[in-house]
Amino acid sequence: MLSFYPFLKGYCCNKLITSISPLRVYIFDGDALIRFCAKEYEPFDAEDIDRYVVGDDYTPVWEMPSLKNFFVNRDLTFKETLNAYLKSVKKDSEEIWNQIHEIIRRVFESQNSKMIASAKGYQMNKNYFELSRFDFVVDSNLKVFLMEANMSPNLSSGHFKQNRLLYEQVIFNVLSLVGATSSISSESAHSKNVETKEMQLSYKDLNVHFPECDAIDAAASSSLTPEKDDCISCSKNASLICELCKHCLTSEFYEILSQTFLEHLNRRQMRRILPRNFGENGETELTEKDLLLSKWLEIKCKQNRHFCE
């Protein structure tokens, strides 16, 4: 596909799980490491694996004749270098990235029940963090194949110093998303003062309205102490989304929405790929928490397009 190096192996997706119930998965969308076989494919020699296996001593982007101009002279990222080349040969790079995102979604959806079961052995499972890397192979028809997933990926630029910027950006964006870095002072970030906390996140940011909530509002206005039974009745007679109405939201789900909202604010170049859009079919049946979070994000997306992914 590219100067007779047929196999493209993308270090593309550094992905981060921040929650398993509901499932929230992000990928670093700012760049992707693109790697090629050490030798040209032709003439083919089955004994010479460097012609069809991407090893540690791979051919980097800046040594590829077809890509060098984009990466070196135009100073593009790895990802945009590939995008620019494909556009120049009348191919759509979105075919690659869309397939990659969908493969990652299906992997984690298919394994989520096992992840939840494994976490039951821990007393505190509210906070979850796992950074990993997915390696893909792309053929000349832009067909994407998952090769492997690596836990605790190597982020050392000792082999190729040109990879330093990508790795540092991954670390910075990941730490930002989980709140380990902040644009406000550490004192303000950990303040117990209500007004200081509301400056960052308030209940008004989390509450959303559905027509189904009207019945609950009416019941609440006729009683000084709205009963949870009203919420149960609403769920049975209307739909599950009544659980997102203000009078029905549990403290646990408020915490889930708070974490999701803060991740959204802090994500920088991280892109959320799970949960899926509400109503979109996935690999497995969604849990109640997954459905509720997906619906909440759908409403936030309508309010502000930046919540859409």
Amino acid (one-letter) located at 148: E
Whether the per-residue pLDDT at 110 is higher than 80: the answer is: yes
Percent of the chain clearing pLDDT 70 (strictly above): 84
Q: What is the pLDDT of residue 204?
A: 95
Whether the per-residue pLDDT at 218 is higher than 70: the answer is: no
Whether the per-residue pLDDT at 1 is higher than 70: the answer is: no
* Separation between Cα atoms, residue 157 and residue 155, nearest integer Å: 7
Helix 251-266 / helix 164-177 crossing angle, nearest 10 deg = 150
Whether the per-residue pLDDT at 92 is higher than 90: the answer is: yes
The model's pTM is: 0.89
Q: What is the maximum span of the chain, computed from C-alpha positions, in angstroms? A: 82
Give the mean pLDDT of the chain.
86
Number of residues written out for the chain = 309
The tens digit of pLDDT for each residue in 165-179 reads 999 999 999 999 999
* Ordered structural domains, the chain, with CATH: 8-177 (3.30.470.20), 188-308 (no CATH)
* Separation between Cα atoms, residue 260 and residue 256, nearest integer Å: 6
Neighbour-count burial of 194, counting CB atoms closer than 10 A to its CB (0-12 exposed, 13-18 middle, 19+ buried): exposed
